[in-house]
Amino acid sequence: IQDPVWQVPFKMRAHGQFAIRVDNSRMLLAKIVGTTKSFTQKVLTNHFRGLLMSRIQDYISNLMVQEQRSFLEINSYLTSISDSIRDKIAEVFLNYGLVVEEFFVESINIEEDEVYQNIRKSMGKRAERKMEGYAYGEERSFDVAEKQAANEGTSGNVAGVGIGMGVG
């Protein structure tokens, strides 16, 4: 997913759980059990995994893009994300005679690659500057001023050369 704030693509994972209840066993039998050799919890989970993954990825991507939510803040919306996704998938499960009793996203994680580490480091520096009361541009100005102050002999030599030329 491309982060809308940082404009950087990240690999993202969502972890969670859900519970379903059979509401119409005849519909379930016709749609799922009739197409498989055996019917177990694993078969049911595998059948719905793709359906769930596409809906979840679609919802989280849209949330990030439309509401400009960064990966840094997405976990603060887990309850509303869970409720919205549950409502979206409930309709799909009804077509199979199932009712979604519970659905919740426990966490959304980003693969912590080099880009992620650099952004986190940058955010830390920005927080330090904010606490100290200055911005990045001001910090760079301080750096330039420090370097100029460290090279005070250079400006003295230039002035000396100018004076020497004037005297000559």
Q: C-alpha 167: how far from its chain's center?
A: 67
Cα 28 to Cα 25, 52, 53, 94, 100, distances in angstroms: 5, 17, 21, 9, 14
Which stretch, 30-44, 107-121, 127-141, has highest mean pLDDT? Answer: 107-121
Which position has the higher pLDDT, 80 or 29? 80
pLDDT for 76: 92
Give the bridge partners for 109, in sequence order: 13
pLDDT for 140: 61
**Worst-scoring range by mean pLDDT, 40-44, 89-93, 98-102?**
40-44
Q: Under a CB-based contact definition with an 8 Å cutoff, are residues 64 and 10 in contact? A: no
Mind listing the pLDDT tens digit for each residue in 9-59?
888 889 999 998 999 989 988 887 766 677 788 877 788 888 888 888 889
Q: For the whole model, what pTM was predicted?
A: 0.63
